[in-house]
Chain A
């Protein structure tokens, strides 16, 4: 690219230049009926200011269809109620469990029999960081597992 640097001050008179073309012809008849395209953001989060995303590590929630590597939508504005999937904080770590209240006791439950429930006690204090209203599963990542499983039915 060429750039010229002038050291002398040019005369002040400048000539305007019209660079825009003028459009002629009919406007599309559909412009009056234009609508917003579907946006999944509206579906997954009713409260964008309180919505965050997180990634799952581990398999303690497979019963709820949440697998290792899945994407979570986390809404901090929701108050957890019985059966909600929640992101909790225990000993400074984020954990994924089901919120369960039984009588006066509060639990963070795994949805996989391999793991043990966590009960809120004097020495086990957890906080609820947010509620998970939706999860996003990458079906492409799971196609080999699925193909292997379905192969069995053909034999």
Chain B
């Protein structure tokens, strides 16, 4: 059996744990730069607020709905707590996204999965304040369906187990084809046109047809729906092939100097990430672009990639290279919305070979220890305690986060206050 555990309206729930006055009131959490709604409370959903609803509309049409900027430091810590509690129950765990994880229950003789799942759910709610829904079934895809039913039909209990084949069949009939995990919009439309509008009908299609028309990926889904587990657990995140950092600006920016500052900050973040996993990168890609929502004549995107002679994780070197690319590719007269960097060709830092043409080996070794020292100071005293001067200190381009709540669990200066009055 597999379990899928999914946090309800996760970002909204995190905000409510530490701001109890938001309980029972319609509210949303906004995307980076306070652009649009990316998480909605049930009350907000009931008001008809959609995912991606732009904030500038929302504040006029729904002035009483509370809003928060996204507070990822808080959400990440709360997810750590939730997954760590789950591990005490089910050690075989795959963290699938920031608000859901799969557990493999096959190592257990679970006598009563329903009551075990219910116990886990109340433990998570009790210890963290985060409500979750749990679906349990024979395969990961079926567990997704069970979870959906828990969420839609048994919200108060929050747990649903597909225990028998009859139950599975009923659940499949009730699941719209577009809601099946892994069936994309294009396939769903095609199947619907053929009269295959629910998961049950799809599961009764001949496997040859599925293989021919939907490749091996489709066949795997078909098998999973028929109770044969064939999507394995992924315990370790696959090593990242590229590390990218990019942000949209609070307002469009046309000055090269400001773009360079922003870029330097993103390169610093990305290279610190590289060093934290003891890797170096061999390729640097830099791009800049204007907003998609401007006239044809004002639209512009640029960028290219260079290969480094000696792979590195050295912030200084990477900023130099990235800046060189941006200067080459930058065109005056556009209002840029976004600039970003992608470091790729990532490999362990023990596998670096020096190039014959490289004349700065000694300096490179010295710089590497300087950046290690910088990372450890920043780990101890907070991000950005020490940073490279190229990233500037005015931050004209910083993200708009007008409504961010405090980092209640990661900064001692921002913890909740309790009234003893």
- Given known A-B contacts A58-B420, A96-B418, A19 and B357 have beta carbons under 8 A apart: no
Q: Are A92 and B23 in contact (CB under 8 A)?
A: yes
Give every chain A residue within 8 A of B128 (Cβ-Cβ): 49-50, 76
A53 interface residue per 8 A CB criterion: yes
Rounded to whole angstroms, the CA-CA distance of A52 and B415 in the bound complex is 8
The residues in A between 1 and 39 inclusive whose CB is less than 8 angstroms from any CB of B are 1-6, 9-11, 13-17, 19
The residues in A between 50 and 90 inclusive whose CB is less than 8 angstroms from any CB of B are 50, 52-61, 66, 68, 72, 76-77, 87, 89
7 interchain residue pairs of minimum CB distance: A92-B21, A58-B421, A50-B127, A58-B420, A3-B320, A14-B353, A49-B81
Q: Are B23 and A61 in contact (CB under 8 A)?
A: no
Q: Are A2 and B360 in contact (CB under 8 A)?
A: yes
| Highest count of chain A CB atoms <10 Å: which of B80, B85, B418 | B418
Instruction: Identify which of B27-35, B149-157, B229-237, B361-369 touches chain A.
Output: B361-369
Q: Within the complex, what minimum Cβ distance (angstroms) separates A15 from chain B? A: 6
Give every chain B residue within 8 A of A137 (Cβ-Cβ): none
Q: Are B84 and A60 in contact (CB under 8 A)?
A: no
Give every chain B residue within 8 A of A16 (Cβ-Cβ): 353-354
A129 interface residue per 8 A CB criterion: yes
Rounded to whole angstroms, the CA-CA distance of A133 and B320 in the bound complex is 52
Rounded to whole angstroms, the CA-CA distance of A54 and B17 in the bound complex is 13
Instruction: Kindly identify which residue among B80, B307, B316, B417 contacts A55, using a CB–CB cutoff of 8 Å.
Output: B417
Instruction: Kindly identify which residue among A14, A55, A68, A89 contacts B356, using a CB–CB cutoff of 8 Å.
Output: A14
The residues in B between 56 and 81 inclusive whose CB is less than 8 angstroms from any CB of A are 80-81
Q: Are B420 and A66 in contact (CB under 8 A)?
A: yes
Give every chain B residue within 8 A of A110 (Cβ-Cβ): 420
Q: Are A6 and B309 in contact (CB under 8 A)?
A: yes
Residue of B nearest to A94 (CB): B418
Contact-residue size bin, chain A (C-beta under 8 Å from the other chain): 35 or more
Q: Within the complex, what minimum Cβ distance (angstroms) separates B282 from chain A? A: 12
Q: Within the complex, what minimum Cβ distance (angstroms) separates B178 from chain A? A: 36
Q: Are A54 and B356 in contact (CB under 8 A)?
A: no
Rounded to whole angstroms, the CA-CA distance of A26 and B408 in the bound complex is 47
Give every chain A residue within 8 A of B361 (Cβ-Cβ): 17
B324 interface residue per 8 A CB criterion: yes
Q: Are A5 and B127 in contact (CB under 8 A)?
A: no
Q: Within the complex, what minimum Cβ distance (angstroms) separates A91 from chain B? A: 8
The residues in B between 323 and 371 inclusive whose CB is less than 8 angstroms from any CB of A are 324, 353-357, 359-361, 363, 365, 367
Give every chain A residue within 8 A of B421 (Cβ-Cβ): 57-60, 115
B416 interface residue per 8 A CB criterion: yes
Give every chain A residue within 8 A of B317 (Cβ-Cβ): 1, 3
Rounded to whole angstroms, the CA-CA distance of A77 and B127 in the bound complex is 5
Q: Within the complex, what minimum Cβ distance (angstroms) separates A127 from chain B? A: 8
- Given known A-B contacts A5-B306, A49-B81, A54 and B418 have beta carbons under 8 A apart: yes
Q: Are A6 and B357 in contact (CB under 8 A)?
A: yes
Residue of B nearest to A70 (CB): B420
Q: Within the complex, what minimum Cβ distance (angstroms) separates A26 from chain B? A: 26
Give every chain A residue within 8 A of B306 (Cβ-Cβ): 5
Interface string of B296-321 (1 = CB under 8 A from A): 00000000001101000000110011
Rounded to whole angstroms, the CA-CA distance of A76 and B409 in the bound complex is 14
B126 interface residue per 8 A CB criterion: yes
A100 interface residue per 8 A CB criterion: no
Instruction: Kindly identify which residue among B309, B359, B418 contacts A57, using a CB–CB cutoff of 8 Å.
Output: B418
